Amino acid sequence: MAITDDATSATTKTTTLTTPAKLYGKDLSEYDDVDVESLLAQLSPEEITILAKEVDPDDNFLPPDQRNSYECTKEATGPLNRKQLIEHINKQAIETPDQPEFEPFVQGKVRGKKWVPPPRDARDIEAEEQIAIDMGEEYEHALNDATQEEIIDLAAILGFHSMMNQDQYHASLLNKGQPVGLGWDGITKSTQQKLFPMDPPNNTDVEESIKRVKDDDSKLIDLNLNNIKNISDEKLEQLFAALPQNEHLEVLSLTNVGLTDKTALLLAAAIEKSKTLRVLNVETNFISPPVIVKLVQALLKCHTIEEFRASNQRSAVLGNKIEMEITDLVEKNSSLLRLGLHLEFNDARHRVAAHLQRNIDRIFRVQKLKPNLPKLILPGNMEIERDLVAYNRSATPSPSPSPQPPADYEVEEDPDNMVIRGGGDAFDPEVDPDNMVVPGSRSVTPNYDDEGVYQAHTN
């Protein structure tokens, strides 16, 4: 039988592949050698018209009246009058009587045959009855005794979103208890919107603040001018002109104050000469990407700024060229710890994040090696300062201010390519071409400014 079936199958396949085309049950291969042009030449015009009605040429270049089989035999009544046509259509619609309804509509009465689902196969019903899940006596006892709220919480944990509404799902996740009156068939209604009080307006006196900056007020450490819309360019110019002479201001916030490129360039020139400014925030303004590059470039000359934020500006996208320029400038900055800018490209984001992390790690490493040195960061950086204070408490202070003998440091790899040499109060970082921390003797006396911030030696 197997051989017979294979032979039959092979024969059927061969017949299917070699069967000639047929039309109305007739073989069309016998018309392959017929000259169609000679046959059409023998037809009369009436016969050609009849043939054209039976065959659709399917040619898009022919007008529709020549492609269809319908031909209007009426004579033309003249040019088209759209108004008369609409009036005729309305007249016909009014005069044509409605078709009577043979059976009036009765509510609740079934008209025609009612659909009845076909009976299911007995094998399917038997297979469903045989399916049983043995969960064990403990789980069955727990589910049988569980309340409806516990079942809803279990469904939320398992992720059965279609079995409950949103109020029940969020109540289960937040462990707030199920809403009263909502079961499996409960309907979720819109909850009352929570009204939060509006943020109070910024009542900072701009003119008085500018005067305090000019007078170098020792109590003015944080200046917040956020969301003040009526600051003129003249007042901003006065503020930026007074920044270089101020020696106490650490935090300057200028969010949503209408900074433009003109005033931002003045700010860039001011922060280059700033001595104490630690945090600068110019978010949500109208600064163009090239001017943002100028601000980041100015941070190289200001060694005190640790945090700079300038996102949400006039241009939502900085572009690859601008982001690469910002990345190169950030990698040259050894004092910046935080940068608030939206960088679109992964390369720029990763390089900036890695460099900022190295700056933070270098501060930790220097403080661990030299706990008695003045901090290399200003006291406003609370996150780093807490760790440094905890470390300094555990370190044993020097009994006297006299120099201590050099400590024996082990040779280790330095990712920042900086050499920590000497012991006691001697500290002199320099570039190590071998990227190794080498123990050595004391070197040049460290150089600190008036604020206690270390200044690198320049040749």
* Domains with residue ranges and CATH for the chain: 146-179 (no CATH), 206-361 (3.80.10.10), 403-453 (no CATH)
Contact call for residues 146 and 154 (beta carbons, < 8 A)? yes
Q: How far apart are CA 366 and CA 14, in angstroms?
A: 87
Secondary structure percentages of the chain, helix, strand, coil, to 5: 40, 5, 55
Residue among 242, 249, 308, 307 at smallest CA distance from 276: 249
Residue among 307, 337, 310 at smallest CA distance from 323: 310
State residue 425's pLDDT score: 43
* 3-state SS, residue 407: coil
Q: What angle do CA 377, 343, 380 make, to 5 degrees?
A: 20
For residue 96, give the H/E element and its range: none
Dihedral (CA of 444, 445, 446, 450) sign: negative
State residue 186's pLDDT score: 62
Burial class (CB in 10 A: 0-12, 13-18, 19+), 439: middle
Contact call for residues 272 and 296 (beta carbons, < 8 A)? no
What residue type is 5 in one-letter code?
D
State residue 349's pLDDT score: 93
List, run by run, the mean pLDDT of 10-residue segments along the chain (459 residues): 42 46 73 84 87 72 74 80 92 89 79 84 78 69 77 78 73 74 65 81 92 92 91 93 92 93 94 92 93 94 92 88 94 92 92 94 82 51 41 39 40 46 42 43 44 46
Tell me whether strands 430-431 and 307-309 are parallel, antiparallel or unpaired: unpaired
Please provide residue 222's backbone torsions phi and psi, each rounded to the nearest 5 degrees: -120, 120
Name every residue whose Cβ is closer than 8 Å to that of residue 344 and which is 6 or more positions away in sequence. Answer: 317, 318, 323
Contact call for residues 233 and 262 (beta carbons, < 8 A)? yes
Contact call for residues 415 and 436 (beta carbons, < 8 A)? no
Please provide residue 421's backbone torsions phi and psi, each rounded to the nearest 5 degrees: -115, 145
Helices then strands, counting H and E runs in the chain, come out as 16, 11
The residues that bridge with 281 in the sheet, in sequence order, are 253, 309
**pLDDT tens track for 339-391:** 999 999 999 999 999 999 999 998 888 878 777 655 544 433 444 444 444 44
Q: How far apart are CA 290 and CA 313, in angstroms?
A: 12
